[in-house]
Chains A and B, each alone.
Chain A
């Protein structure tokens, strides 16, 4: 048996699998290609972008697109997105942990009904609440602020669900010991139960951070002030059908901007790939 045959055997592959394997890997490379094309375009000078020659690697590397995109308040948009995503995620993870703990552990009338209501609300698309929330927020003049962008997102049902499932499976002994020592309910939760809940905390943080970072329709509606826009909304003005930027300056600055916009979520995904995929397959929501 030669080394190549051993290599195949160790990987449970047969000779006849090789074409399939090559085809699959090519598909995977192709699936990534739009990202490569985005980054590559972002570093090309204008004349190398609007051309019929396909060049995957820029012949001359330039930062002019990045300089040009910063003529818009991109730094401010990034900061807004970061603030909004961090606050909204932190609050919804904390509220989810508290409610999830109570629904799993504490015994009180209405517990089952409330949990049923949560599950039922998952069937209702978020867009159902957009119009009435918009009407109400305009009525009380709550627009153009972090509070306005964050508020509808703080009560996240998935976060409650993830924590409830975790606490249901967690043995009670440690908490009972703390109760005998005279700790209060909140003390037990905060010092004993929550520190053990690392995996649901990480899972819901990753999921909610990316979904808050990418949120589109609500921030698009509730923000009128250019300075208060979030990055996804601000960058959408580079779409040829919406703003006039791209018609004036070509696709270079747009690609530079969305490279910056996709960086945080792609980095989190690369670093925490396994946790990310676990979280998604457990809840069935997209990041």
Chain B
């Protein structure tokens, strides 16, 4: 391009020679990122901001929308079912997170031995993670059937896993553990493979037994991975919805409902959009709090 004397030409010329941090700017970069960032700004950033706005209104799909301030939030705090949904979600977390973390770790240690059949074991432990919530839900509804379900047949009992207020959350938790474990397992496996096998062998030569190697060497080295798995699992359990919807639809009497499930049945399906948005922002606050606590915890540990 020859230098042009027109206004436009001058601007173009200056842009071409423009530098940022001492290097010429690749203006084409913006063209490369635009196809991604335009939908990203609309469907993620924009949606979140719009959600904050909606949570301060009485949005109901039809009719006029009015700004009602914090009313949705105060309603949510006064709604005993919201409290119940948060409490249930916490209870799911208390059952699912430790189970997934501990079992996932044990399974990963087993597969990492590379004993015969380990490829099959790796497949088996991860496979449930790749199928849809509908598959998980329906298989377990069938297996946990009170009368004909295989679980009760084998245990020789008739526990109403999914139809009693007392057992429903455990039934859903069993299915969730089976579904979620794969991710924890794979992350642990990757972490274990990064530990130098020489470290382990040197310890064994020094006379340490397997238990000591596990407790003194492997567990401390795996601390960052363990922490990551707990955080990821905690966040994903706070968002538990699909398997509940398929297995119990929150029943009986809301005994197995979760926050997202409550948003779905009592907010969205009843067109209370403002109310739904407010509760989902409250959930986001809880998730953020969990993440921050977890991050601080990890940092403090790493100084030890």
A residues sitting closer than 8 Å to B (CB atoms) are: 11-13, 17, 20-21, 24-25, 27-29, 31-32, 34-35, 37-38, 41, 49-52, 54, 94-96, 98-99, 101-103, 106-109, 111, 114, 117-118, 121, 123-136, 138-139, 151-152, 154-155, 157, 160, 184-186, 189, 210, 213-214, 216-217, 220-221, 231-233, 235-236, 238-242, 251, 254-255, 258, 261-262, 265-266, 268-270, 273, 276-277, 280-281, 284-287
Contacts and interface: CB of A to CB of B under 8 A. Distances in A.
A151 B115 CA distance: 46
Given A51-B148, A95-B35, A284-B228, A35 B245 contact: no
Interface string B40-64: 1001110110110010000101000
Contact of B150 (A21, A37, A98): A37
Contacts of B246: 236, 239, 241-242
Nearest to A286: B183
Contact of A50 (B134, B135, B148): B148
A102 B33 contact: yes
B36 A217 contact: no
A136 B126 contact: no
B202 interface: no
A280 B239 contact: no
A104 to B, nearest CB: 10
Given A28-B121, A31-B125, A217-B242, A106 B32 contact: yes
A277 B260 CA distance: 29
A109 B247 contact: no
Contacts of A232: 132-135
B138 A239 contact: yes
26 contacts: A11-B116, A24-B115, A31-B127, A31-B178, A37-B139, A38-B135, A41-B142, A107-B23, A107-B24, A125-B239, A127-B260, A127-B283, A128-B281, A135-B61, A135-B273, A155-B39, A157-B40, A221-B268, A241-B248, A261-B134, A261-B135, A266-B127, A269-B130, A284-B183, A284-B187, A286-B236
A217 B183 contact: no
B: interface residue count bin:
35 or more
B200 to A, nearest CB: 11
B131 A262 contact: yes
Given A108-B29, A128-B284, A34 B242 contact: no
Given A136-B47, A236-B134, A261-B135, A11 B115 contact: yes
Contacts of B247: 239, 241
Given A185-B26, A281-B186, A29 B235 contact: no
Given A37-B143, A221-B268, A270-B123, 10 more contacts: A11-B116, A20-B110, A28-B125, A41-B142, A114-B33, A129-B51, A155-B36, A155-B40, A157-B40, A239-B249
B40 A258 contact: no
B189 interface: yes
Contacts of A11: 114-116
A106 B130 contact: no
Nearest to B59: A135
A35 B277 contact: no
B235 A281 contact: no
Contact of B137 (A136, A151, A239, A251): A239
B32 A255 contact: no
Nearest to A233: B134
A103 B273 contact: no
B70 interface: no
**Majority secondary structure, A binding face:** helix
Nearest to A257: B138
A46 B263 CA distance: 37
Task: With a 10 A CB-CB cut-off, give which of B29, B121, B145, B248 has the most chain A CB atoms.
Answer: B29
**Majority secondary structure, B binding face:** helix
Given A99-B36, A255-B142, A106 B48 contact: no
A82 to B, nearest CB: 14
B164 interface: no
Given A108-B20, A129-B44, A258-B139, A123 B291 contact: yes
Contact of B25 (A37, A108, A235): A108
Contacts of A251: 138, 142, 145
B120 interface: yes
Given A136-B50, A185-B26, A240-B141, A277 B132 contact: no
Contact of B183 (A95, A262, A280): A280
A136 B277 CA distance: 13
A50 B59 CA distance: 47
Interface string B263-304: 110011000010011001101100110010000000000000
Contacts of A254: 138, 142
A241 to B, nearest CB: 4
B88 to A, nearest CB: 16
Nearest to B18: A109
B186 A121 contact: no
A216 B36 contact: no
A25 B268 contact: no
Nearest to A186: B28
A124 B46 CA distance: 13
A157 B45 CA distance: 12
Contact of B131 (A127, A186, A265, A285): A265
Nearest to B129: A286
